């Protein structure tokens, strides 16, 4: 579904990505883990069309999407939930959800999907007429995920969905990710919490210094000898 090849992103003289390559197959949950400043958010931003790459290629469903604006990538079927739970705090939960469906035209289908997502996120149903700014951090995270899903994406990208959340709420967020995958949506998730991501993802990429240092099935990376070195950018230990 998604193939990113030799992607480069620069901010002035700063190289955020130095030739990162990943691929995501339809129906997968794929994780990208790494420390702060590794280039994870820049990678998602480039795929979504909000960051302009300096080089490389991004193919989504067989089409090169480099240079396409955010609206075009959303219409192609890519939705990004950025880091930080950006809700419209003065609008109600229901109004926030409807904003996620602005590219769609059938009001009946939108209403049906909102009801469907209320089943996954029952707290949002209970608080549908309350201002989004009054929700807890975990509830706001559920809201921005549901809002992104209202665009009917093929690929949902989540940037640090567990950031600042209690472990119990994080567990629920990852249960929801699995439910979303069960509905036919492919998921690409960025996390600093490597342990949490490895348990949830089919495959994982370790990004550091703007390049992929290690990748493979998550079950294999959990106990991989080079995982810590790849994550923290350490030199591999040499036996005497």
Q: What is the mean pLDDT of the chain?
A: 93
Res 84 pLDDT > 60: yes
What pLDDT, in 10s, does the model give residues 22-55?
Answer: 999 999 999 999 999 999 999 999 999 999 999 9
pLDDT score of 175 more than 90: yes
- By residue count, the chain amounts to 240
How confident is residue 216, by pLDDT bands cut at 50, 70 and 90? very high
Mean pLDDT of 142-168: 95
Identify the DSSP state of 183: T
Where residue 234 falls among pLDDT bands split at 50, 70, 90?
Answer: low
pLDDT at residue 193, as a whole number: 87
Q: Assign 240 a pLDDT band (cuts: 50, 70, 90).
A: very low
In tens, the pLDDT along 101-131 reads 999 999 999 999 999 999 999 999 999 999 9
How remote is the C-alpha of 232 from its chain's centroid?
21
- According to DSSP, the β-strands at 78-81 and 155-159 are parallel
> 50, 165 in Cβ contact below 8 A?
no
Name the pTM for this structure.
Answer: 0.92
Q: At what angle do helices 107-120 and 137-149 cross, to 10 degrees?
A: 140
Mean pLDDT value across residues 188-193: 93
Q: pLDDT above 90 covers what percent of the chain?
A: 86
Residue of 116, 99, 102 lying closest to 182 (CA atoms): 116
Q: Which residues pair with 26 in a beta bridge?
A: none
pLDDT at 192: 86
Domains identified in the chain and CATH numbers: 2-83+153-232 (3.40.50.300)
Band (pLDDT 50/70/90 cuts) for residue 239 is: very low
Q: Looking at the predicted structure, is the pLDDT value of residue 197 above 50?
A: yes
Alpha carbon distance 60, 153 (integer Å): 12
pLDDT-wise least confident of 57-61, 187-191, 194-198: 194-198
Answer for the pair 156, 24: CB distance below 8 angstroms, yes or no.
no
């Amino acid at each position: 579904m998604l193939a990113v090849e030799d992607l480069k992103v620069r901010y002035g003289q700063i190289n955020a990505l130095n030739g990162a390559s990943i691929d995501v197959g339809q129906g997968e949950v794929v994780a990208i883990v790494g420390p702060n400043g590794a280039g994870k958010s820049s990678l998602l931003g480039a795929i979504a069309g909000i960051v302009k790459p300096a080089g490389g290629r991004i193919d989504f469903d067989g089409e090169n999407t480099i240079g396409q604006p955010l609206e075009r990538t959303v219409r192609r079927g890519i939705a990004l939930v950025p880091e930080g739970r950006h809700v419209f705090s003065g609008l109600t939960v229901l109004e926030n959800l409807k904003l996620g469906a602005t590219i769609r035209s059938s009001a009946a289908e939108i209403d049906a999907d909102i009801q469907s997502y209320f089943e996954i996120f029952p707290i949002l149903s209970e608080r549908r007429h309350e201002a989004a700014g009054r929700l807890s951090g975990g509830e706001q995270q559920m809201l921005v995920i549901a809002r992104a899903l209202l665009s009917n994406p093929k690929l949902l990208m989540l940037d640090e969905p567990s950031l600042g959340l209690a472990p119990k709420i994080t567990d629920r967020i990852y249960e929801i990710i699995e439910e979303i995958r069960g509905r036919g949506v492919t998921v690409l998730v960025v996390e600093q919490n490597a342990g949490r991501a490895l348990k949830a993802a089919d495959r994982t990429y370790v990004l550091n210094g703007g390049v992929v240092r290690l990748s493979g099935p998550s079950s294999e990376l959990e106990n991989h000898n080079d995982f810590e070195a790849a994550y923290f950018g350490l030199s591999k230990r040499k036996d005497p």
